[in-house]
Amino acid sequence: MDLWFTEFQTKNVGITLKTTRTLYHEQSEFQDIAIIDTVEFGRMLALDGLVQTTVRDEYIYHEMIAHVPLFTHPAPRRVLVVGGGDGGTIREVVKHPVLEEAVMVEIDGKVVEACRQFLPETSSSLSDPRVVLKIDDGIRHVKESETCYDVIIIDSSEPIGPGAGLFTRDFYQSVYRALKDDGLMVAQTESPFFNADLIRDVYRSMRDVFPIARVYMAPVPTYPGGLWTFTIGSKKYDPVAPPRVDAPLPATRYYNREVHAGSFMLPKLVADLLAP
């Protein structure tokens, strides 16, 4: 008998993957956690029935959420990652030799434990000596920080449950205060096909808080619609400008300087969302 996993991306649309077995399943204090072995995309992390990452395509998301802001900032020495319990964003962050400390604040320690056991490809860099892992509320951590970080990366799950508060104007104001005078932030901001209102609202909130706000995109096959957006808020540096060329590119499979520039060339359906 074939086994299938379906994520219902809307009431009317879903993505279905043929699976071989469930490797891990637990209801934590915050969410339902599952790691499932799929035929097409390998091992997959799902939270509350929603795909978070798969072995086959995770590198696109993680490279783009990390390297675009880190190559925009000239010297990202201290970086905060909010969320990102699978460890993939930290894996990309620590590829930057200028980095001195990367703080990762994940609210659900069970996600970190599961990914360390079943997704070593993404989580292995959590043991890097420059990484400080805190199992805590990222919203509270940001609110209690002031002028601490060069770059803040919001690697959140969907805007439901524990992730909902990471998509608000009040939170972006806290992020602004937690950044140094030339700091910048980035947040994953969902699908232009299914989350247009969210993208518009986040962009406008960031534009109200930061002098520079930009949206960029990348394809992620297992995410709703296959096309994903990220939104940057920056105090000083414009990510559309050529990324710093003094630093060597890390080992990547998707990101390069041409992709960095091209990701800000938005299709009309997204540009229209951002129009005044």
Looking at the annotation, which residues are catalytic? 155
d(CA 241, CA 234): 12
Angle at 166 between CA 209 and CA 75, to 5 degrees: 60
Write b or e for each residue in 238-271: b if 16 or more Cβ atoms lie within 10 A of its Cβ, otherwise e: ebbeebbeeeeebebeebeeebbeebeebeeebe
DSSP assignment of 218-239 equals EE-TTSGGGEEEEEEEESS--T
d(CA 217, CA 222): 15
- Please say whether the beta carbons of 195 and 156 come within 8 A: no
d(CA 80, CA 151): 6
**What single letter denotes the amino acid at residue 116?**
R
In degrees and rounded to multiples of 5, residue 143 shows phi and psi of: -65, -30
Given phi > 0 = left and psi -120 to 50 = alpha, else beta, which region is 150? alpha
- Characterize the bridge pairing of strands 212-219 and 179-188: unpaired
d(CA 103, CA 207): 26
DSSP state of 264: T
